[in-house]
């Protein structure tokens, strides 16, 4: 399978001299060309999964295979912009000089609705605006896989909807695989091909959503039932 395969992944941290097991044998697939959403209580290890997958940290055990993804774009839980670079330069930061096409950067800036702020410094932007720069930066490298950690959490309702639509468009046009963390069940239901609920350091349950992204109506009986099942799973889960 092209995409991300986690097999029996284990990861512990040490906090205050004591071991803190976070992942206790997590097995999970995030296939290329699909949107996989991770759900789970705060502290259950979602960011840890993204960091291990992106190679920012080493697992203690198990296997992580990340195949077919020539380029992975990372959107962190916080913007992590370079404070000494303008919006424009932050977005083009990951590109080689010869790959910087001003029209593409301008299009991305329009996509994240930051026209007029091209020459602004990160400190001159609100938190949500900074996060939109971070999203544009991740998209700029035309990634074959996106690792996104609550990317839209800091955005207002309307911007969030726009960004969700934009992500689906990128996914559809480029077949970009996405591993996406959110706390919003509705966002998960709108975006996901599969929803993985993590609890107790393992995959508690996986829910597939077979229907196309276009025209999903969360008020359909099918989605209401699914939401109930997922909530039940989350409520039952131990942290």
Ligand X SMILES: Nc1ncnc2c1ncn2[C@@H]1O[C@H](COP(=O)(O)OP(=O)(O)OP(=O)(O)O)[C@@H](O)[C@H]1O
DSSP 69-121: -S-EEEE-SS----TTS-HHHHHTTTS-GGG--HHHHHHHHHHTT-TT-TT--
Tell whether residue 48 is a contact of ligand X (CB under 6 A): yes
Among residues 26, 44, 112, 188, which is the contact residue for ligand X, using CB under 6 A? 44
**Least CB distance to ligand X at residue 181 (A):** 7
Residues 100-139 close enough to bind ligand X by CB under 6 A: none
Q: How far is the CB of 15 from ligand X (least distance, A)?
A: 5
Exposure string (b/e) for 218-234, b if CB count within 10 Å is 16 or more? eeeeebeebbeebeebb
Report if residue 188 touches ligand X, rule: CB under 6 A. no
Residue 45 touches ligand X, criterion: CB under 6 A: yes
**Closest to Mg ion by CB, 47 or 159:** 47
Q: Which two tokens stand for residue 162?
A: 């726009």
Based on CB atoms, which residue is closest to ligand X, 51 or 171? 51
Spatial contact of 67 and 3, defined as CB atoms under 8 Å apart: yes
**Listed residue (71, 82, 69) closest to 140, CA to CA:** 71
Binding mask 24-43 toward ligand X (x if CB under 6 A, else -) reads ----------------x-xx
CB of 200 to ligand X, least distance (A): 12
**Binding residues among 35-94 for Mg ion as defined by CB under 5 A:** 47
Strand ranges for the chain from DSSP E:
3-15, 18-31, 35-39, 61-67, 72-75, 145-149, 177-181, 194-199, 202-208
> Which residues make beta-bridge pairs with 36?
179, 194
Contact between residue 94 and residue 139 where contact means Cβ atoms under 8 Å apart? no
22 near ligand X (CB under 6 A): yes
Q: How far is the CB of 27 from ligand X (least distance, A)?
A: 17
**Is the Cβ of residue 20 or residue 82 nearer to ligand X in the bound state?**
20
CB of 88 to ligand X, least distance (A): 30
For residue 187, the SS3 value is: helix
> Which residues have C-beta within 8 Å of that of residue 155, sequence separation ≥ 6?
128, 131, 132, 163
- Per partner kind, with CB cut-offs from 5 to 8 A, the member of Mg ion, ligand X, none near residue 42 is ligand X
The nearest distance, CB 177 to ligand X, in angstroms, is 20
Q: Which residues contact ligand X by CB under 6 A?
A: 13, 15, 20, 22, 40, 42-48, 77
Q: Which residues contact Mg ion by CB under 5 A?
A: 47
């Amino acid at each position: 399978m092209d995409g991300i395969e986690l097999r029996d992944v284990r990861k512990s941290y040490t906090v205050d001299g004591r071991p803190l097991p976070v992942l206790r044998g997590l097995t999970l697939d995030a296939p290329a060309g699909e949107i996989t959403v991770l759900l789970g209580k705060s502290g259950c290890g979602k960011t840890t999964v993204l960091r291990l997958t992106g190679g920012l940290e080493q697992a203690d055990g198990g296997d992580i295979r990340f195949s077919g993804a020539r380029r992975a774009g990372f959107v962190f839980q916080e913007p992590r912009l370079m404070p000494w670079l303008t919006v424009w330069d932050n977005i083009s930061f990951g590109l080689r000089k010869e790959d910087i096409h001003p029209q593409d950067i301008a299009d991305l800036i329009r996509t994240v609705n930051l026209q007029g702020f091209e020459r602004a410094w990160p400190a001159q932007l609100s938190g949500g605006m900074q996060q939109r720069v971070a999203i544009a930066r991740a998209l700029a490298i035309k990634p074959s896989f996106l690792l996104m950690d609550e990317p839209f959490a800091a955005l207002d309702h309307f911007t969030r909807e726009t960004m969700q639509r934009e992500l689906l468009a990128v996914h559809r046009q480029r077949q970009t695989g996405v591993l996406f963390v959110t706390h919003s069940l509705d966002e998960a239901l709108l975006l996901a091909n599969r929803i993985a609920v993590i609890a107790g350091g393992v995959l508690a349950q996986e829910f597939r959503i077979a229907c196309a992204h276009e025209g999903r109506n969360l008020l359909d009986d099918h989605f209401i039932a699914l939401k109930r099942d997922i909530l039940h799973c989350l409520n039952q889960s131990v942290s």
